[in-house]
A and B are shown apart, each in its own frame.
Chain A
Amino acid sequence: MTDQAYNFAYLDEQTKRMIRRAILKGLAVPGYQVPFASREMPMPYGWGTGGVQVTAACLTPEDVLKVIDQGADDTTNAVSIRKFFQRTAGVRVTESTGEASVIQTRHRIPEAPLREGQILVYQVPIPEPLRFLEPREAETRKMHELEEYGLMHVKLYEDIARHGEIATSYAYPVKVEGRYVMDPSPIPKFDNPKLGDCPAIQLFGAGREQRIYAVPPYTQVVSLDFDDHPFVASKAPHDCDLCGADESYLDEVIIDDAGGRMFVCSDTDFCAGRQAAGHRGRLSPAEVV
């Protein structure tokens, strides 16, 4: 059911045209951050206002929307954004990665491989990968213009000097098509290899920072590294305690006051699918026969 007081997908048409133009320019220059006139949304900054605006500009009435927060469909952020578009766009929603045509995500890429025809919309807090190294926008813009990315390698090198390895574990910088260094949003670096050569369209929206950028399908995305310290997509060295998966990204959950903990898939749809298929983990409830 649609709230008739609002335009389809909440935003007015002129705002959507502005966002759509920014998205198309972002796709034409993969990895480049396109400025856009981000609007106030009926949710606070940090809750995905950028992603919501990109999703609103892309949605059609026929779409099936999935929203995840750190891989989970059932957390507050995901539930509220899903309800927002159910009310304002009347679109169907799903928790299944395979069924969705538009997936808005906060800080994860689903475990199930994406396909052509899908759009993955990332919520981005700080779109500028160089921002913590150089606070001035005029300077970082110049650095992108001149392809001056030495500073980023110095940061990774300092990681190695201090920790013996590249300790950056999320928002790991990537280079897109050999040109722009891009912040893939705070996804774990475990997800970085899925950014490149992906059949789906990947769009990034940063509401507070007023930037949109994009990675077209089948685009080369390389995580920055050194010859002697190659990029490693790391995860917790455990199996999921609910579905037994050894290839998925895991969340650590404290379960008592005695230091007890469990590891579970961060992608709830992936984990539930495996459990439904009969896979069991270390802490799965006993079978009821």
Chain B
Amino acid sequence: MTGIALGGGFSHPPEQAARAFRAVLEAVSRPGTIWTVEGAVPPAPLTVAAGTVLLTLADGTAPVHLAGDADCQPVRDWITFHIGAPLVGAEGAMFAVGRWQDLLPLGRFHPGDPDYPDRAATLIVLMNDLTNAGARLTGPGIKDAARLSLPEIAAFQRNAVQFPLGLDFIFTAGDRVAALPRSTKVEGAACM
């Protein structure tokens, strides 16, 4: 275990986790809105936002799957030291972290059970950028319509059709975070 793994956690966990959760709560409640979080400095390729979300939501009872280049020793060490979450395959993950192409195919992740739809996985997607442009979002939490730069359209449409089953997504870029719960309807649209 290197020194990198020991640093980069919350300095004041209760307060920082509370603020980060409120940002995530607003993001999930209002799909398409972009919020800023801070506190974690995780090893690359994790973003500040992805690390902060993991510190806020994951723990020893919430298995995490690392996809693609997120599955590297520094990230494994960092999660083991700060979060203590079991690192598992896609099938058993409550949270998964990775770039969009590394998370595919989405069928590997658990979409919840018909009688317990809350048991679905949450995917934390590492993005280069997040803007309010591109896909058109409607549904609960959105007054009229919102726009968000999603990595693709069809996968999210297929996901929404399964409602009340389905995966929930948290997008992170730098210290910015946005969310797309399974309840949101996604339409493809040219960037504005």
Chain A positions near chain B (C-beta within 8 angstroms): 7-9, 13-14, 16-18, 20-30, 32, 34-35, 57-62, 116, 119, 141-142, 144-145, 177, 179-180, 199, 201, 215-220
Contacts and interface: CB of A to CB of B under 8 A. Distances in A.
29 contacts: A9-B18, A13-B13, A13-B17, A14-B60, A17-B17, A17-B62, A20-B57, A21-B94, A23-B25, A24-B25, A24-B122, A25-B117, A27-B28, A27-B181, A28-B182, A29-B183, A57-B21, A116-B30, A144-B115, A177-B140, A179-B164, A199-B143, A201-B29, A216-B28, A216-B30, A217-B29, A217-B140, A217-B143, A218-B140
Give chain A's interface secondary structure class.
Answer: mixed
A247 B62 CA distance: 48
B59 A14 contact: yes
Contacts of A28: 28, 120, 166, 168, 181-183
Interface size bracket, B side: 35 or more
A220 B164 CA distance: 16
A29 B115 contact: no
A243 to B, nearest CB: 32
B152 interface: no
User: Closest 9 A-B residue pairs measured CB to CB?
Assistant: A8-B14, A28-B181, A216-B141, A25-B118, A219-B140, A34-B118, A216-B140, A60-B18, A145-B115
B47 interface: no
Nearest to A6: B14
A136 to B, nearest CB: 13
Contacts of A116: 30
Interface string B170-192: 00000000000111000000000
